């Protein structure tokens, strides 16, 4: 009867061990997807190659892309300062002042070209500020998720170790039980 109990317990422990190892594998895969996602959003811009390589975190990429261009009040202040700096650099590099539109030494085409350059600088700066903001927010989210996954992995690894130790104890007890149950014949030989 003891053999049946030991076999039943070993089966239950082996099943639990397999389940825990599967959970650990799934969490490791989730962590790898998170690391891939983190690399994809590290620069604030998601390329088509990054979309293709990160199918495991597609929904996260979509959410990041949407959030990267949502308007945030703090972005407006940062963007205004960055725009002013970028435009001043452009004007200084081209040797013109901020009132170039009224400058009679410039042709209408030159004025239009400078204005188009300033408009491009403005749009690029706004997008850059929004992408920086989204990247910073997402970096904090990723760090929190990674910590959570690490804790789950440690918990499961501890359970795996405990289950392996219990399985080993059951196997030792079974071996001892078999040894005790083996008949000993005296006087043979």
Is the pLDDT at 71 greater than 60, yes or no?
no
| Centroid of chain to Cα 135 | 12
pLDDT tens for each residue of 7-64: 899 999 999 999 999 999 999 998 988 888 787 777 666 666 665 566 555 556 556 6
Give the HSE-up count for residue 111: Cα atoms under 13 Å, Cβ half-sphere: 11
Place of tokens 């970096």: 139
Q: How crowded is residue 54: how many other Cβ atoms within 10 Å of its Cβ?
A: 18
Q: Please say whether the beta carbons of 2 and 162 come within 8 A.
A: no
Confidence of residue 72 (pLDDT cuts 50, 70, 90): low
Pick 10 or 92 by higher pLDDT: 10
Q: What b/e readout covers 3-33, taking b as 16+ CB neighbours within 10 angstroms?
A: eeebeebeeebeebbeebeebbeebeebbeb
Confidence of residue 169 (pLDDT cuts 50, 70, 90): very high
Please give the model's pTM, rounded to 2 decimal places: 0.63
| pLDDT, mean over the chain | 80
Is the pLDDT at 94 greater than 90, yes or no?
no
pLDDT of residue 153: 97
Average of per-residue pLDDT across 57-83 = 63
Domain boundary assignment for the chain: 2-181
Virtual torsion, Cα 62, 63, 65, 68, nearest 10 deg: 180
């Amino acid at each position: 009867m003891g053999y049946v109990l030991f076999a039943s317990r070993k089966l239950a422990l082996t099943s639990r061990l397999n389940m825990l190892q599967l959970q650990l594998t799934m969490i490791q895969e989730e962590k790898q997807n998170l690391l891939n996602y983190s690399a994809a959003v590290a620069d604030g811009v998601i390329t088509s190659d990054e979309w293709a390589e990160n199918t495991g975190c597609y929904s996260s990429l979509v959410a990041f892309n949407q959030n990267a261009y949502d308007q945030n009040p703090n972005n407006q202040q940062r963007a205004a300062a960055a725009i002013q700096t970028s435009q001043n650099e452009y004007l200084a590099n081209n040797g013109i002042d901020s009132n170039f539109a009224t400058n009679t030494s410039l042709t209408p085409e030159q004025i239009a070209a400078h204005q188009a350059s300033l408009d491009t600088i403005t749009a690029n700066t706004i997008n850059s500020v929004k992408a920086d903001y989204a990247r910073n927010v997402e970096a904090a989210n990723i760090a929190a998720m990674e910590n959570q996954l690490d804790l789950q992995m440690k918990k499961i690894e501890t359970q795996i170790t405990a289950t392996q130790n219990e399985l080993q104890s059951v196997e030792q007890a079974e071996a001892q039980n078999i040894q005790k149950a083996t008949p000993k014949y005296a006087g043979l030989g």
